[in-house]
Structure 1
Amino acid sequence: MVRGYKRLAGAAVSLAVAGTLAAASLVTGAGPVGAESPAAGKGEYLVFYGAGGQAEALRAISAGGGAAAAVDAKLGYIVAEGPGTAFAEALGASPAVVGVTGNRRIGAATALAAGAGPATEPVSLPVSSSQDAAASRQDEAASRQDAGAASEAASVRRVPSRGSAARRGEPLSGRQWDMRMIGATPSGSYAKSRGSKRVLVGIIDTGVDGRHPDIAANFNRSLSRNFVTDHPKDPNGRSLDGPCEYKRCKDPVDVDDDGHGTHVASTIGSPINGIGIAGVAPGVSLVNIRAGTDAGFFFLKPVLDALTYAGDAGVDVVNMSFFVDPWTFNCARNPADSRADQLQQAGIITGVQRALDYARARGVTLISALGNGSTDLGDPTVDKESPGYPLGKQRQRTIDNSCLNVPAESRGVISVSAVGPSKRKAWYSDYGTEQTDLSAPGGDPSDTGSSLKGTAREILAAAPTRVLRKQKLIDAAGKPTSSSVVRECHHGSCSYYQYLSGTSMASPHAAGVAAILVSRFGKPGKGGLTLAPSRVERLLYATAIPVSCPASGSTTYSVSEETHTCSGSAAMNGFYGHGLVSAYRAATTKG
């Protein structure tokens, strides 16, 4: 996951002993309740109302001295502006209001156009305006002037014959222990089903480098969207996303300034093209549905927009390697929190669940990373990471099982734990008998149960050149400066790949397997193929390889000096869920 999940996936985390762990919490929720605008002394809020409670919620907003800017009737919330934290707490007293979450102005569809009066009728918020679409097209055209991007795009046109690559495997396939573990190889699932181009897999993440030579052929630019706007600084004036690189600080739909989303997309669907690696489902279409900032924050409004769009656009599977900020665990009634904080967390729980329900009802199979907190989610006791925004505001609080990691513990979501190359549960991976649905390769630098060494125990997938250059992981000449980066060249053009670990790296393996199942059993639907999420879920569980708990019933991790207890049978347990995902079994099952 990115930022939120102990930075194991998303914003790559370097651990002294465990190597680079992909930031485990890509879920960055809306900003804190009462995040007032310095100029106006007011805050913007997402006010979630109960069934039939829209009119009463609008009255409560007005009575509290606020104003409604927009209404999203699909998910049942109002975008409102009001005078600070006291306003949010006053709204919480209304029986019609079920959550109030402060909203940071991220993304093009945060509110209605300037000048619009208070909403009195249900208004469906647009995914993007024609003005935003035009600006996006201008940004895309400008981005093609980037020398590095132009070089990468050129290399796509010089791909060698695919026949031999399909038989022998891609140039870097020898480094893909993860694909061998799940049977995604030339003699395995690739020989049976590589996935259909008509299947759309959405990557809700930090973006996707759509011009990477090992992604471009499968990247669906026309359906991709970016729901965030980069913010150079945080409210305290500290650097956040870095300098704006495009007009209006809005990146094109084929840009990833973090690298997390590109790695995830590559694992799902890098094509078989004689370049680098191949993904789990190398024949599917990849759709960037960006909800994460350059800094790896996933705020509530962009996450809601991304999930709603996935449902409306006919996306078949989405991968969510993140948690919604700013809370690692959301507790609607935790006495350790203020009333304003409780309302914010209730808003996140409610809003994300509604968006997930909306997408699932429209045929979207929901796959999530479980988390990198090394925690039994069935018995959490302490949260030291929240709130993660504004920066530096974390505090230790006592929590219990009523507190939820969102979206991993939300209803209708298939949550995935991570294993290392020996199939041992990764030391960092969260677990739980009620929370773990499946397991998949996520990498574990501390897993000594195989012949692999160091970074080779992690997951290798595509990385954006300019991100690696910015992180000084490649030098001016393009040579890697770290063993975590691999350069693969042919015909004078090179592409880059990076080793990362995390449950963020595990869930895309499951998403790829889900895409294979939709490709095989889906029926013609909106823009392609469709298969009911409930059936995809059943097939995923049926084709998973059962893995029993360790013989001792627990596993001790020397890296963190922790003991994690595994409960359950081989058919279903807290470490592996229904088992290890299998691309080969998905490609060969009779359904």
Structure 2
Amino acid sequence: MSGTRTRGRAVRIAGSALALALLVPASVVSAAEPAPAATAVPAHFVVLGPTGDGLQQTEESVRGVGGTVVQSWPQIGVVIATSTDPGFAAAVRTQPAVEQAGASRNLAEQLPPAQSQRLEALEGKVETTALAAAAGQEPLEPEQWDLPQIKADQASAISQGSKDITVGVLDYGIDPTHPDLQPNLDVSKSVSCVNEGVPDTRQEAWQPQDPTQDHGTHVAGTIAAARNGIGVAGVAPNVALASVRVIDDNGFIYPEYAVCGFIWAAEHGFDVTNNSYFVDPWYLWCDSDPDQKAGAEAVRRAVAYAAGKDVATVVSAGNSNWDLSKPIRDTNSPNNGGPLQDRQTGHDCHILPGELPGVVSVSAVGVQAVKSYYSNYGLGTVTVTAPGGDARQIPPTPSGNGRVLSSVPGGGWGWMQGTSMAGPHAAGVVALLRSTHPDWSAQQVIGALTNEADALACPEHYDPDGDGKPDAVCAGGNRGAGFYGAGLIDALDAVS
């Protein structure tokens, strides 16, 4: 997840995509080891073919070389398959109605299990009795410096959004019993995609499985925690939420999970999706590699299909302090097992879904409206910026905690930081725009989001760690587009 992992995962284990996720150091090798011989453990593959009825021939080709069809998406010409043969992708590429094919998990399933490289970003829980809220505020709202920063508190006096607008939270799942979220959660539109990318609508499948899976519940609270006299307030506290689980118990989001989530959103009338994560196991997916190219193309098709169904896709930019407009050295992929590769990635390599066409990519700022020290950036790669939190920027709140406060499973609240926290602020503003202008298309709403954003100038000297050396270079001068895109989102303009 963008908040969970450092690079910019948005959501992986609480802290990856979620909050500030830091990568765990690991040894680096120059090349991947040879694939193992066939085993009894099936590996997962993405196979691309024609859309519509023509995909049936692709399925036959999968079976013809010994594969098993797990899930088909004729809407976008994607088949999810398994095989015990590590050479399956190469074999199926030669078959009829197969355009591309690749292992979606780097064949890691045929290697010793890996440990998830994500860190917990929750800084502790708070009690609603700890603060004295002003009239009209939620009990914990005095700690929410992020709401006035984007004028969401003023916006709520005009409009809190419409229940006709649904925001899908593609994440770890939303706690359906949380008192701040239960009033807005639409269980009929909720689903899990982590069983090989096959939709599962059972509540026990899409809800968080334990308290450590708190990222989705935290994200959901920022978007739409109800103004009900309990806990915190969301940016759009009256819109509907749907829980779309795309992160498995090991903290990974594979292409088949993401594809399932985007198509579910498209087919079930979602207006907005929030995606605080990056797709595993590659921090950047490179088209020069046929396996990575196939997985990336499957996700691209799913996002484009959602856009065609008028879904606005909001994504987190990532937490590695990378300039995404320039080539990046990636020494942490693949992250799900097997030898790491030391590779210099070029312009054919992209974060998924953060650098896909048409998405709203969100960088993070702290209370001082300066880029958070971890946030990715890059001229032409960031759409807007939003509060993601920064422990180094101290707010004038009772706790002085510079992270973002929101809901966590079990009826509590906690602080996290990351672009995973910035994305849901933007998703909330998009939901307010769609509520205010129900006749506008997703593209019109995205245009308004950027047009109404407040430009932030580049810092004169960006040195958040105070060592006297610049930690990032901001392109764009007084417009600050390299760090902030069009600028800081504005909830008040969205409802005015």
SS in structure 1 of the partner of residue 101 of structure 2: strand
Paired position in structure 2 for 1:154: none
Paired position in structure 2 for 1:513: 429
Paired position in structure 1 for 2:408: 463
8 Å CA contact 2:46–2:295 kept in 1: the answer is no
8 Å CA contact 1:206–1:292 kept in 2: the answer is yes
Distance 1:432 1:344 in 2: 27
Distance 1:200 1:248 in 2: 17
Identity %: 32
8 Å CA contact 1:9–1:502 kept in 2: the answer is no
Alignment pair present for 1:228 and 2:205: no
**RCO greater where, 1 or 2, for CA within 8 Å and sep 6 or more?**
2
SS in structure 2 of the partner of residue 170 of structure 1: coil
Paired position in structure 1 for 2:29: none
Distance 1:35 1:417 in 2: 40
Structure 1: segments with no counterpart, 5+ residues = 15-19, 26-31, 106-158, 231-246, 334-341, 466-494, 524-530
Paired position in structure 2 for 1:101: 103
SS in structure 2 of the partner of residue 222 of structure 1: helix
Paired position in structure 2 for 1:354: 301
**Correspondence 1:89-488 to 2 at 5 A:** 89-92=90-93, 96-102=98-104, 167-185=135-153, 188-229=154-195, 251-255=204-208, 257=210, 258-333=213-288, 342-390=289-337, 393-447=339-393, 451=396, 456-465=401-410
Distance 1:9 1:73 in 2: 28
Query: One-letter code of the match for 1:262?
Result: T
Distance 2:468 2:345 in 1: 21
- Tell me how far 1:219 sits from its aligned partner: 1.1
8 Å CA contact 1:67–1:82 kept in 2: the answer is yes
Match of 1:21 among 16, 19, 22: 19
8 Å CA contact 1:544–1:579 kept in 2: the answer is yes
Deviations 1:544-582 (A, max 9, x none): 111111235x55544896621111254461100001011
Paired position in structure 2 for 1:88: 89
Alignment pair present for 1:503 and 2:419: yes
Query: One-letter code of the match for 1:581?
Result: I
Query: One-letter code of the match for 1:352?
Result: V
**Aligned in 2, Cα 1:297/1:42: closer, same or farther, shift over 3 Å?**
closer
8 Å CA contact 1:517–1:536 kept in 2: the answer is yes
8 Å CA contact 2:463–2:469 kept in 1: the answer is no
Distance 1:560 1:453 in 2: 31
Distance 2:346 2:91 in 1: 27
Distance 1:165 1:216 in 2: 22
User: TM (normalized to structure 2)?
Assistant: 0.83
**Aligned in 2, Cα 1:310/1:388: closer, same or farther, shift over 3 Å?**
same
SS in structure 2 of the partner of residue 396 of structure 1: strand
Aligned length, in residue pairs: 456
Distance 1:364 1:510 in 2: 14
8 Å CA contact 1:228–1:250 kept in 2: the answer is no
8 Å CA contact 1:11–1:22 kept in 2: the answer is no
SS in structure 1 of the partner of residue 349 of structure 2: coil
**Aligned in 2, Cα 1:171/1:83: closer, same or farther, shift over 3 Å?**
closer
Deviations 1:12-66 (A, max 9, x none): 349xxxxx934489xxxxxx99799853x55342211367974775575466454
SS in structure 1 of the partner of residue 414 of structure 2: strand
Paired position in structure 2 for 1:584: 492
Query: One-letter code of the match for 2:102?
Result: V
Distance 1:260 1:322 in 2: 10
**Aligned in 2, Cα 1:197/1:322: closer, same or farther, shift over 3 Å?**
same
User: TM (normalized to structure 1)?
Assistant: 0.70
Query: One-letter code of the match for 2:323?
Result: D
**Aligned in 2, Cα 1:24/1:461: closer, same or farther, shift over 3 Å?**
farther
- Tell me how far 1:206 sits from its aligned partner: 0.3
Paired position in structure 2 for 1:541: 450
- Tell me how far 1:464 sits from its aligned partner: 1.0
Distance 1:67 1:560 in 2: 57
Deviations 1:185-234 (A, max 9, x none): 1xx1011111011110100000001211111111111211122249xxxx
Query: One-letter code of the match for 2:435?
Result: S
Distance 1:319 1:35 in 2: 37
8 Å CA contact 2:224–2:240 kept in 1: the answer is yes
Alignment pair present for 1:47 and 2:47: yes
Query: One-letter code of the match for 2:367?
Result: P
**Aligned in 2, Cα 1:199/1:36: closer, same or farther, shift over 3 Å?**
farther
Query: One-letter code of the match for 2:266?
Result: G
8 Å CA contact 1:281–1:516 kept in 2: the answer is yes
Distance 1:266 1:103 in 2: 31
Distance 1:424 1:224 in 2: 36
8 Å CA contact 2:389–2:416 kept in 1: the answer is yes
8 Å CA contact 2:406–2:415 kept in 1: the answer is yes
Deviations 1:92-122 (A, max 9, x none): 45694223233699xxxxxxxxxxxxxxxxx
Deviations 1:402-438 (A, max 9, x none): 2100000011110000001111100100001111000
SS in structure 2 of the partner of residue 575 of structure 1: helix
Choose 1 or 2 for highest CA Rg: 1
